[in-house]
Amino acid sequence: MTRTGRYLLDNQRTEAGERFDAFATLFDPTTFRHLDGLGVGPGWRCWEVGAGGTSVVSWLAKKVGPTGKVVATDIDISRLTGAARPPVEVRVHDIGAEQPPADGFDLVHARLVLVHVPERERALRSMVKALRPGGRLLLEDADPALQPLLCPDEHGPEQQLANRLRHGFRKLLADRGADLSYGRRLPRLLREAGLRGVGADAHFPLTSPACAALESATVRQIRADLVAAGLATDEDIDSHLAHVASGGMDLATAPMISAWGRKA
């Protein structure tokens, strides 16, 4: 993340923990599959960028073992302190403004980070710079513009309200410098950065308890921003949260694009 003061979904809020738990449920299997495919193993030196929560950091720590190292960075490390033991090192770091915490990494990984970083071009250069020759980069980011709806099956007033609030959320993100179509560009950006063997795929969760948990936590976290911007009323939000809690809607997330490559 970046220390601009404009980030909409900061880690200090109670709802942030709920969001991290939902992300782990929704996306960890995809992330771990890709990391396994890149060969992460004993002795690897890894940099987890914008770590936020601990699920990926803990998985990497087990994979690299006592002979490896995992550097976990974020602008807010309050939720990472429990993982700060060998082989994990936790550091405060602004990926959009600061130099890499080290170099010669075998792996650099960031999930759902760069879409929120206005200085994302600089951040990408920093991550590539931190890799050793032959090191792997795995970037995973959302593309809300590719699938902008919370309820793709908009068949009733509850779904219409949900999609209107999702539109408001996207506007708040864009107003703070988020790039809502960033995910789709990752393969090209990795090739332009000189990486070899670039590949990519997408994961699109639809209709799961974790989707509902993520939506509830997100709307509660940004409630005041939605109301202050005139994008929703408190009555709209109360009604929507009740609909989500009822379990009767098919909720989706934005697709997560995973792209990977190897430094020459």
User: How far is 33 from 41, CA to CA, in rounded Å?
Assistant: 13
pLDDT at 89 over 90: yes
**46: part of which helix (H) or strand (E)?**
strand 45-49
Confidence of residue 13 (pLDDT cuts 50, 70, 90): confident
- Would you call the peptide bond into 255 cis, given omega within 30 degrees of 0 as the criterion? no
Task: Give residue 1's pLDDT.
Answer: 43
pLDDT at 5 over 80: no
pLDDT at 4 over 60: no
User: What are the residues facing 153 on neighbouring strands?
Assistant: none
pLDDT at 236 over 80: yes
User: How far is 84 from 90, CA to CA, in rounded Å?
Assistant: 6
User: How far is 53 from 21, CA to CA, in rounded Å?
Assistant: 8
pLDDT at 146 over 70: yes
Residue 27 backbone phi and psi in degrees, to 5 = -120, -15
Q: Which of 34, 93, 77, 92 is nearest to 59 (CA)?
A: 34
Q: What is the mean pLDDT of the chain?
A: 94
User: How far is 154 from 249, CA to CA, in rounded Å?
Assistant: 10
CA distances (Å), origin 60, targets 41, 54, 64: 8, 10, 6
Contacts of 236 (CB under 8 A, 6+ apart): 161, 164, 165
Average pLDDT over residues 12-37: 93
User: What are the residues facing 22 on neighbouring strands?
Assistant: none
Task: Give residue 151's pLDDT.
Answer: 97
Average pLDDT over residues 13-23: 90
Residue 261 backbone phi and psi in degrees, to 5 = -165, 175
Strand, coil or helix: what is 6?
coil
How many Cβ atoms sit within 10 Å of the Cβ of residue 58?
15
Task: Give residue 7's pLDDT.
Answer: 65
| Stated pTM of the model | 0.94
Contacts of 171 (CB under 8 A, 6+ apart): 229, 231
Q: Which of 27, 40, 59 is nearest to 140 (CA)?
A: 27
- Give the DSSP per-residue string, 86-136: TTEEEEE--TTTS--S-S-EEEEEEES-GGG-TTHHHHHHHHHHHEEEEEE
Confidence of residue 14 (pLDDT cuts 50, 70, 90): confident
Q: What is the DSSP letter of 195?
A: -
pLDDT at 2 over 70: no
User: How far is 120 from 143, CA to CA, in rounded Å?
Assistant: 14
Confidence of residue 6 (pLDDT cuts 50, 70, 90): low
